[in-house]
Each structure stands twice: as structure tokens, then as C-alpha cells.
A and B are shown apart, each in its own frame.
Chain A
Amino acid sequence: MSKPEISSRRMTSMVLRYGLAVLSVCIALSVALLLSHYNFPDVADPLFLFAIAIVVWYAGRGPAILALVLSSLANSYFFIEPLYSIVITRSDVPHLAVFILFASLLTGFATVRRRVERELLQSRDELETEVAERTQQASLLNLTHDTIFVRDMSDIITYWNRGAQELYGWTAEEAFGKRAHQLLRTVFPMPIDEIRAELLRTDRWEGELEKTKADGTQVVVASRWSLRRDLQERPVAILETNNDVTERKRTEEKIRKLNDDLEKRTAELEAINKELEAFAYTISHDLRAPLRHIAGYTELLQKNASSILDEKSHRYMMMILESAKRMGDLIDDLLAFSRIGRAETKMTMVGLEQLVKEALSEVQQETEGRNMDWKIGALPNLYGDRSMLRLALVNLVSNAVKFTRTRPQPKIEIGCADEKDGAVVVFIRDNGVGFEMKYVNKLFGVFQRLHRAEEFEGTGIGLATVQRIIHRHGGRVWAEGIVDRGATFYFSVPKP
């Protein structure tokens, strides 16, 4: 509504209200004159008062005062001696004063009453608006999936939304008026007094609570409490929202249990590892001593009795010495193999080319005088334990050297194959005696040998060691071979 319109309406209403005042007084005057003409005297005062009352009721105080003034004038002019003059004698003053006083009183009362009525109406309107707003809010709260309910300070439920009904199975009608903690059989993680104290201090509380649904099943909820205070800051209600975290808790519990199991298992494994270590230590120390004695005394015997021993006996002695030596080698290799399982890996970037060079110089003694044909391709850097990878390469290279011994032109190729599943693949290929593919899965086993001892010496631990080293790097070993044509050994190490 625009401003000129409002003011024009107010103008109209002013004209109407003051018009009513004038009109009422005129009517009262006419009626009074008419009645006095028919000899009904002394009705003027009540008639004027009646007119003023109507004006004050319908038009308010201003017009009422106008009506009062007009009435007083008309009264004094037409009905108080001397007639037809507004001059009043002294004896009439009390009459007029009482009239004015009474009219003023009437005006005053009516004004107050009107104001009270207007205020009442206004507050009724306000109340209606608020009720509408609250109803809307409540129905909005009802729409959410979250569980929301309100309880007063004595824990009586006063509001219960649809989410609460869905979670707990109680309808709003069932929940209203009940004590929340009783209805839901709430289990608190700490004394309720502490929770209340925190709520009163900070106006909120958060925590996990166990509650029970209508059907008896238990739920764990993440609960948030907010305190509502009235205008005097007195706590009046608690709004609580709940989120069902039962599933999450269950998963967490499961993970925790799995972790516990894992820890227990790790501890067990560590204990076993310690035992193995002690075992290996005993082997290293206690098995070697008798071997040394066998070898030592046999040597001494051979020396002292060489003149009286025949050739056969000499050979027997040789056999004893050889066996002792072989046993010593086996123990050493086995210990080295077990050490790889126990030792911690020290991971760094390792240049494979340098490692291959070192491996080649280590097998130099074995290749001396042989017409070796080496072909070393470009090799990458790997992320791994240097000394372990070196040992793996030495084993693979010395294997290749060993099994090409019968070849007039031994050929050994070391190179990098195509990447496989994000891992670097290295191969060592030889043209040696090879192996039958049906035995390929025996190749990497401990003490597994595919050749007779008199053909090729060895303890059968070299390739098992290689496999263990590569497995500890998260890689894989495999081999291809053709009898009498050669073998290729591959290993892969994941890229960093």
C-alpha cells in the first residue's frame, strides 16, 4: 500500500470520526429539543452523555472531546438559564461541571477499554502467527530422517518426530508424556549427573548412548543434546537428536577384534622367529664343532698312518673328509638361507648394472680359462636391499656359469625384459644343460636338485635363497628351460 493512499484513508477516517461526533451531538440536541417541546424536561443531559458515549466508543477520544465541547455549548445555549445564550449563571456552574466531569470520565473509561481491547486483539494475532510458524517448523522437523525429540527438564517427552518413530518404533502418541530414558532404556557412558552438569554449563552435550527400540533390539546412537532456556534464562527443555551408529560400531568392533587377532598373531610369529633364531644359532655353533673334529682327526689319522694304510683305506678317509666338508657347506648355506628370512631389509635405490658387475667378479674364479660369451643389456635401478639383491644375482649368475660348464662356447645373457604389472623384470639366460619343464616347480625348493651330485656340485639352496630374497621384495621368480638347450631365470621387483 502506497503512502498517499494510507494518508488519504486516514483523512477519510478522521472526517468520518469527527463527523460522527458532530452528527451525534446534533441528533441528541434535536431529540432533546423535540422532547422539551412536548414538555419532557431534563432529558438533555442523559441524551448528550449518550451521544458522547457513542462517539467515544466508535470514533475515539479526539472526536469524543469535540462532542463533549459541542454538547456543553448546546446544553448551556438551549437548556440552561438564561436560554439562547452561552452565558451561564453562577447557580448553574455545578450542573455543568458535573456534566463535563461525568462526560470526561466516560470518555476516559471508554478510551482505556478500547486500548485494552486493541492490545488484546493484537496479541491474539501475534499468537496466531506464532502458532502457525511453530506448526510449520514442527512439520518440517517431522520431514527429516534424523531422529529428533524434545523432553522437558523432568525428562517427559513433549515432541517426537517421524525419524524418532522410524528409529525406535514408538509413535508420537505413545511417546508423549513418557519419560525418555525409561521408554528407551538409555544406558549412559558416564553418570547422568555429570552429563546434566555439562549440559547446564555449556547448553549442550554430545556422546554415544545405548538405547532399546520398541521391539527390544538395542541400538547405539550418536546423541546430541541442546538445552532450551526461557526468557529468564531458566532451562525448560532439552532437544535431542540421535543418529543410529550401531552398524558403524559393529564394524569398528570387528576391525578392533581383527587388529587384536593380528597383534596376537604377530606376537606369536615373533616368538617363533626368536625360537628359530636360537635354533639356527645352535646349529651354527654346535653342529659345526663335531664336523671340525671329524675332519681334523681324520686328517691327523691320515698323516700319522699314511705309511700303513692301503689305497682303499686312503679312499675311505677321503670320503670322510669330503662328507665333512659337504656337511659344513650345507650348514653354512642353510644358515645363510635362514638369515635372509630373519634379517631386516634395508631398502634403498640400487643400481642393477653395478650389482651385476660385482656378481661377475665374484664368479671370475670359476670362469677362468673358459671361453665365456657375456652379453649384458641395459639394466635399470631397483628399490631394494642391496646386499640381498646382490646375493640373488650372484646365485643366479654362478648357477648359469655352473650349468654351462659342459659347453664349448658358454653364452650367458643378462637383461631387462618388458615390464609386467608395474614391476621391473630381469632375466638371466644361458645355453647350458637346461631342465625339463615338468620339474620347474621343484626348481626353487630347499635342497631340491635336478642333477646328480657328480654332474654338478651344489647344496640345492641357491635358487631357494633367490626366491626368498625376491619374495621379501614383493616380487616373483620363475624359469623356462629346455633340456640341453639352456635355461632362463626371471625375477620381478615392484617399482617404487
Chain B
Amino acid sequence: MMNELGRILIVEDDPKDVELTLTALEEYNLANEVVVTRDGEEALDYLYCRGNFKMRTSDNPAVMLLDLKLPKVDGLEVLQQIKSDEKLRMIPVVVLTSSREERDMVASYKLGVNAYVVKPVDFHEFVNAIKELGIFWAVINEPPPGSVRKSS
């Protein structure tokens, strides 16, 4: 069961958060199939195989870790776009944010998010959260048809 690893798409503008997230994933050998995009527009470019991602194969990631506060197109807009697109709506989306505000949570769930995780300040907790997310979505969860899988 653990022999296949789904591709994780990270959408995060803060390079430090990217680094810490990748470090946490690496620690549990979950980082070899990770794509990082740095704003909402780039994330949508990736999903629609356009711009810099014209040449990629058109399969979907197994899970998408989405920050809410993003330059250009923000997280909620990206989420709305994904969930209203017939081809993309099956991609599991996890909102990974600093915001504990209820309205962000409510807005995300209304748009059909699959999970909402507040980034813990404490590093151990943070690493733990990333690890659990990676294991659950990239390994345990059966992704919808059309997702990238790679033998580990």
C-alpha cells in the first residue's frame, strides 16, 4: 500500500514556509513528488497546463496544499476556480493557512474544501501536521482517477 506516492502541489508564497514544509516532508520521505507554485496564478497555470507548464502531462495532483493569502490570485479564488471546473473539482484541496478566522474557514468549506489546517506556530507541531497531511493524502488516500502516482 505504501509503494505508491501521489504528487503533492504546494501553493505558498512565503519561501520560508516552503522550505520548512519541504523539510518536514523530506524528513518522512514524502518530498520526491512535490510541485511548488508561488502564487494563485501560477497554481492555476499548473493545473490548466499553460504558461510555464505547457509541456507537462495533463494529470492532476493527488492533493493540493493551498495557502489563503497569496499574491495576484488569492487562495479562495483559486479554490473557487478549481471547485467550479468539471475536470479539476475532484482534486482534494487542503487549505494550509495561518488564519484561524472563522470567516476564512466558513468561506473555504462553502467552496468545498476537503480539509482546513491552521499552521501551528510550534515547529514540532508544524512538522507533525505536514507529515500527517502528506501521509494521509499522498499515501493512504486513494486519489481520484487521473492523478499522478509514482512508485517509491
Contact = CB atoms under 8 A, between A and B. Distances in A.
B97 interface: yes
A265 B14 CA distance: 40
A296 B130 CA distance: 13
A328 interface: yes
Interface in A300-353: 300, 324-325, 328, 332, 335
A284 B100 CA distance: 7
Which of A285, A293, A296 has the most chain B CB atoms inside 10 A of its CB?
A296
Interface in A271-288: 281, 284-286, 288
A328 B124 CA distance: 14
A296 B129 CA distance: 13
B20 A284 contact: no
B85 interface: no
A296 B20 contact: yes
Given A295-B126, A299-B124, 5 more contacts: A285-B101, A286-B98, A292-B17, A292-B119, A325-B121
Contacts, number: 57
A174 B50 CA distance: 96
Contacts of B20: 292-293, 296-297, 300
A296 to B, nearest CB: 4
Interface in B27-71: 68-69
Interface of B: 14, 16-17, 20, 23, 68-69, 97-101, 119-124, 126
Contacts of B126: 292, 295-296
Nearest to B120: A292
A285 B97 CA distance: 8
A332 B121 CA distance: 10
Nearest to A298: B123
Which residue of B99, B121, B124 has the most chain A CB atoms within 10 A of its CB atom? B121
B14 to A, nearest CB: 6
A289 interface: yes
A324 B100 contact: no
B99 A281 contact: yes
Contacts of B97: 285
A288 B122 contact: no
24 contacts: A281-B99, A281-B101, A284-B98, A285-B98, A285-B101, A286-B69, A286-B98, A288-B98, A288-B119, A288-B121, A289-B14, A289-B16, A292-B17, A292-B120, A293-B16, A295-B121, A295-B122, A295-B123, A296-B16, A298-B123, A299-B124, A300-B123, A325-B121, A328-B122
A196 to B, nearest CB: 61
A291 B121 CA distance: 7
Contacts of B100: 284, 332, 335
Given A284-B99, A284-B101, A300 B122 contact: no
A300 B23 contact: yes
Please give me the 10 A-B residue pairs with the lowest Cβ-Cβ distance, nearest first: A328-B121, A299-B123, A296-B123, A296-B20, A288-B98, A293-B16, A285-B98, A295-B123, A285-B99, A292-B121
Contacts of B99: 281, 284-285
B121 A324 contact: yes
A67 B68 CA distance: 131
A289 B18 CA distance: 12
Contacts of A296: 16, 20, 123, 126
